[in-house]
Structure 1
Amino acid sequence: MKKLIIYTILIPALILTTACDDEYLERLPLDSPSSETYFANETELEMAVTGVYNRLWYFPAGIAWFLSFDFASDDGWDRNGSTLQALGRGEQNADNGFTNGFWSHFYRGINRVNYITSKSIELRQKMDPDDYDRLVGEARFLRAFYYSYLAELYGDVPLITSTLTLEDSQTPRASKEAVIDFVLSELDEVKNYLPMNASDKGRVTKGVVLALISRVALWNERWEVSASAAKELIDSGAYQIDPDYQGMFTFAGDNSPEVIMRIQYLRGVATHNMPRNFWSRMALGHSNKKPPQDMVDTYHCIDGLPIDESPLYKPNSPFENRDPRLGHTLVLPGSRLVNWIYETHRDSTMTWEFRGDEMIRVPNIEAQHAYASFTGYLYRKHVDVANYPTDVGSSDQNLTIFRLGEVLLNYVEAKVELNQLDESVYEAINAIRSRESVQMPLLEAGKTQGELRNIVRKERRHELGMEGFRYFDIRRWRIAEDVIPGPVRGRVNRYGEGGWLNSAPMIDEMGTPSYDNISNASEMVVVETRAFNPERDYLWPIPRIELETNTALTQNPGY
């Protein structure tokens, strides 16, 4: 798809002209499509379907949409004074720009698909029917994809599957269950029209469909459906665990055996500024999006134990002997970012710069810049050093949105909830843990359902950190009310202090740290204090403008 010229779907218009004798003649435009002539050939259908893919290019609060949710979870914080930040604090309302944007954005994508399915039927007789079914199947997948997020975020939503007239525009909300029934039914049908893999990068395939089925079914506790779809994809052999965990989220990920789908970008057409949002000031970034200390401390040591239990944990060297995915996911103090050693303690006024084969000492902007450190950590995932220096604000690096690692964990969780604790469960999770660049200890058989439930929930946080899943996981597990409220912390960052906690925090069975036992916890940076109302905040508000224009809608409780 990256080689295609990207078009936005054309909105056909009927042009009526009036004859001098008051007779009305319908005249079709000769130099542009109309609603009577559009979808005259396969090229026009391809253009329209590409217009649906375009909705994947969405950057609310300056971040790729599918990653943005994690900045309202316990895995992230948005420094900007944005409406995303208000969501994290539990201050969202029916006028919140961040939550309202997803409603309008996804429904625009859905409307494009409805136009295609309503207007292109006759074209199937004029082109190769297999090609027609494949193209329309891709569009129907994307409609189901957008609906799956609408249902998770807002609950009951209008289920619109055809173009509406003005008279039909007052549409009530369908139940979430009905929406998910529709999503899974659509996906089950369109998977038969698509190849397991596609040479045209970025297009929807059967593998992508199976991955989404496993995800949506898992989110909605349809364990059998989730496990079955995940197993079909795993057994297909079309995808394998990539030995290079970090590489999947760089330019090299385009050729990763694990990646099932990446959102495609193209210089001159669609780029993004992920490096600008993630990187340090010295690397020309703004450090807008940051991980908190809580996320850092949830990663285990290399012996497989949490940091409050492992003898390998060293408070004065807290990143030694840790799960390698910590360093692959985050930029840690003392690690290299582009050409510099990233240091964030206030006493670190100088740092090291790499100049060819030499390292020299240079002033460290990160130590005291007002908009540099905050929590003391940055994200490494989803950005490649090849973006530096010219493409920091306009990268065409593709972004991974479906991969085998997630599907394996979907399978494990579904099987655990079914209490089917067979050998395949251990094989799936150990395939992830034994990745060459990770090499965490393998799980031994004999765990109880409760033990495996906690293990897979922590594994999802470690394996899928900053991939857009944490926000949905803590909501569906109904633990958001436990892990969201309270301070969002950064590292110890007081002048004259060592910069580290005196001891390990207490880690609960879900992997959540508590700092009540640490003598210098009061020296940790607090960047925000959050709240979560369990009677309201498990759903987003229906946008006020939608309630005013569609009086058949009702608001979610508490808004």
Structure 2
Amino acid sequence: METNKYFLFIFLILLFIGCDSGLERFPLDRPSDGTFLTTEVEMEMAITGAYATLKTSQDYNYPAVILLDCLTDIGWERARQTYMDISTGKHDSNNELVASIWGQFYAGIGRCNFITENISRGKDNVPENVYNRILAEAKFIRAFHYFWLTELFGDVPFTTMPINDIADTQMAKSSKSEIVTFLLNDLEEAAKYLPETIPASELGRASKGAALALRTKIALHNNLWQEAINSALKVMALDYELATSYEALFKNSQQRNTKEVLFSLQYLYQYGTYGPDGVTTRMGRGYSSKIPSQSLIDSYECIDGLPIDKSPLYDPTEPFKNRDPRLDYSCVVPGSVFFGYQFETHKDSVECWNYNTNPPTRVPNQDALNAYASFSGYCWRKYAESIPNLPTVGETPIMLLRYADVLLMYAEAKIEANDIDSSVYKAINDVRERVNMPPVTEGKSQQELRAAVRRERKYEFAFEGSRLFDIRRWGIAEKVMPGNFLGRIPKGLLATAPTIDEYATPDYSEVPNWAEMRVIEIRSFNKDRDYLLPIPRLEVETNKLLIQNKGY
């Protein structure tokens, strides 16, 4: 089927490894490193291999950037010690997750550098628009990898050339600001040659809007407010809009029909998928390994726009009623239905309803009985969709850039630049009103709006890979990370609402029965070290010019 033709090239990514000097110069059974990229077919194969590196697969083949939410105040990972070591501050330069992320990002950069350096071999053999587009796509993919690297590690080695010799690997760090300047220029140039719209047959390829949205994100994360505003405005002038239904964004059959998605990772059964069973409930034939926190659940406002400690609509005996609809769309909460089963995690609820039968029947409730059911009492609903009868196979595209993000980035940049006007309120309220939440009223101070947009990002993008970057760039990780990572009271509910601060972070110290909450993990955060990850030990030992990050 034409829609999925790009998956067919993925097995050819080994072409980027290079050729052994002992082999004949131009082998006849495969493309040669010395002649590759001389035809349009070869260029298409090369760029497909480069796109594949954005998946940076980790547990259950979820991309690394999504799972980074498990290293924040809103999420947790049960099955991998390497995740827990980072969130508890016990990690060092030997951490396997850190090494894997570093290696995968640089592998992707290597493929892009091969393209940008060698694509000129075929310039005269392909249409100009094809040549320019593929070159622009390589710059886009490379920018994503360098963006992730600089956000996680700070200053890093930077090159736009292929590594052809061991001596080329001896490379000192370049400053983050230098790299960012290069990426912004690269993306501005790339946007000129990328199409404004992507047909169904090419979903997963970069568009002009995607390049500009990534440029907005990089600028925002580096406090370049005007650059972020300018790039966001260019995206907002294109043919994008918020999906009518927030829920539709996480349904495979519906997401593709929206105009909200700017760039997503594509998956196809038997050509590359991820495993939703890593997040789904025990009754949904999953393992509840990656879970949201109690503090995330309590962050969401009531439908009157007030936090749960202020809203008269909040009832601690029915804590999930009258809440921002994004709570239910993002998380599976007790009393809801998931995969056709009643979801209930109260430890005395040893049976639950099975609505997959007619009439419904009572069955043993593994979400209460299984020792490895969700430790917090909640599960993720986002990216939990699987192919019918194949709970280990997920095909729903994972979004890396969407229009709601552009609107909130625009609003944030305007707020931080203290250039506050009606367009700031409109950008925030368009996102809120999509889920029928009341608007933010005009007349707010800069700090009030700053808090509003930070709360909105927490509600809107939970388990989409934004939270780690957000709490670090805002400088609040040192406040939201240390202490107990909490789950629900195993056999009860909180007696009262916790106190919610301006950034939607709960404080349970005044809740009468707070001590009954499940302590899942005790976390720590060293503000002088943990805003960056360590550079993998092997990299420092083999690259004599590379200096380890402070504190490691």
Specify if TM > 0.5.
yes
Partner of 2:543: 550
Structure 1 residue 16, shift from structure 2 partner: 4.5
Structure 1 residue 3, shift from structure 2 partner: 2.5
What residue identity is the alignment partner of 1:507? I
**1:50 corresponds to which of 48, 51, 67:** 48
Larger Rg over CA atoms: 1
The change in CA–CA distance for 1:287 and 1:388 in structure 2 (over 3 A counts) is farther
Please tell me whether the aligned partners of residues 54 and 145 of structure 2 are also in contact (alpha carbons under 8 angstroms): no
1:484-523 superposed matches below 5 A: 484-494=481-491, 499-523=492-516
Separation in structure 2 between the aligned mates of residue 52 and residue 3 of structure 1, nearest angstrom: 15
Partner of 2:154: 155
What residue identity is the alignment partner of 1:534? K
Please tell me whether the aligned partners of residues 492 and 501 of structure 1 are also in contact (alpha carbons under 8 angstroms): yes
SS of 2:141 mapped into structure 1: helix
Partner of 1:22: none
Structure 1 residue 36, shift from structure 2 partner: 2.4
Deviations 1:77-110, CA, capped at 9 Å, x for gaps: 0011420111111111101011111111011111
Deviations 1:193-226, CA, capped at 9 Å, x for gaps: 1011111111011111111111111111011111
1:47-446 superposed matches below 5 A: 47-62=45-60, 63-164=62-163, 165-199=165-199, 200-236=202-238, 238-251=239-252, 252-273=254-275, 275-384=276-385, 387-390=387-390, 392-435=391-434, 438-446=435-443
Structure 1 residue 14, shift from structure 2 partner: 5.3
Structure 1 residue 445, shift from structure 2 partner: 1.1
Structure 1 residue 357, shift from structure 2 partner: 4.8
Structure 1 residue 373, shift from structure 2 partner: 2.8
Partner of 1:31: 29
Structure 1 residue 12, shift from structure 2 partner: 3.6
Partner of 1:23: none
CA root-mean-square deviation: 1.3
Separation in structure 1 between the aligned mates of residue 438 and residue 89 of structure 2, nearest angstrom: 38
Structure 1 residue 50, shift from structure 2 partner: 0.6
What residue identity is the alignment partner of 1:224? Q
Separation in structure 2 between the aligned mates of residue 453 and residue 378 of structure 1, nearest angstrom: 29
SS of 1:262 mapped into structure 2: strand
Separation in structure 2 between the aligned mates of residue 449 and residue 76 of structure 1, nearest angstrom: 29
Deviations 1:35-56, CA, capped at 9 Å, x for gaps: 2221221100110111101112
Separation in structure 2 between the aligned mates of residue 488 and residue 208 of structure 1, nearest angstrom: 35
1:516-535 superposed matches below 5 A: 516-535=509-528
Please tell me whether the aligned partners of residues 202 and 261 of structure 1 are also in contact (alpha carbons under 8 angstroms): yes
Deviations 1:150-172, CA, capped at 9 Å, x for gaps: 01111110111012333332110
Please tell me whether the aligned partners of residues 299 and 306 of structure 1 are also in contact (alpha carbons under 8 angstroms): yes
Please tell me whether the aligned partners of residues 75 and 294 of structure 1 are also in contact (alpha carbons under 8 angstroms): yes
The more displaced of 415-424 and 81-90 is: 81-90
Matched, 1:6 2:9: yes
* Runs (5+) with no aligned partner, structure 2: none
What residue identity is the alignment partner of 2:5? K
The change in CA–CA distance for 1:348 and 1:535 in structure 2 (over 3 A counts) is same
Separation in structure 2 between the aligned mates of residue 358 and residue 217 of structure 1, nearest angstrom: 55
Partner of 2:479: 482
Please tell me whether the aligned partners of residues 409 and 460 of structure 1 are also in contact (alpha carbons under 8 angstroms): yes
Please tell me whether the aligned partners of residues 38 and 123 of structure 2 are also in contact (alpha carbons under 8 angstroms): no
What residue identity is the alignment partner of 1:161? T
Deviations 1:448-476, CA, capped at 9 Å, x for gaps: 11110011110110111111111111101
Separation in structure 2 between the aligned mates of residue 84 and residue 355 of structure 1, nearest angstrom: 35
Structure 1 residue 268, shift from structure 2 partner: 1.5
Please tell me whether the aligned partners of residues 56 and 105 of structure 2 are also in contact (alpha carbons under 8 angstroms): no
Structure 1 residue 394, shift from structure 2 partner: 2.3
SS of 1:140 mapped into structure 2: helix
Separation in structure 1 between the aligned mates of residue 9 and residue 340 of structure 2, nearest angstrom: 35
What residue identity is the alignment partner of 2:370? H
Separation in structure 2 between the aligned mates of residue 413 and residue 2 of structure 1, nearest angstrom: 37
TM-score, length basis structure 1? 0.95
Please tell me whether the aligned partners of residues 280 and 366 of structure 1 are also in contact (alpha carbons under 8 angstroms): yes
The change in CA–CA distance for 1:51 and 1:27 in structure 2 (over 3 A counts) is closer
Deviations 1:214-254, CA, capped at 9 Å, x for gaps: 11111110111111111111122x11111110110120212
What residue identity is the alignment partner of 1:132? Y
Structure 1 residue 356, shift from structure 2 partner: 4.9
Deviations 1:269-290, CA, capped at 9 Å, x for gaps: 21110x2011111111000001
Separation in structure 1 between the aligned mates of residue 29 and residue 351 of structure 2, nearest angstrom: 63
Separation in structure 1 between the aligned mates of residue 112 and residue 63 of structure 2, nearest angstrom: 22
SS of 1:116 mapped into structure 2: helix
Please tell me whether the aligned partners of residues 289 and 374 of structure 2 are also in contact (alpha carbons under 8 angstroms): no
TM-score, length basis structure 2? 0.96
Structure 1 residue 519, shift from structure 2 partner: 0.9
Please tell me whether the aligned partners of residues 14 and 28 of structure 1 are also in contact (alpha carbons under 8 angstroms): no
The more displaced of 321-330 and 3-12 is: 3-12
The more displaced of 74-83 and 452-461 is: 74-83
Where does structure 1 differ by over 6 angstroms across 4 or more consecutive aligned residues?
A: none
Structure 1 residue 366, shift from structure 2 partner: 1.1
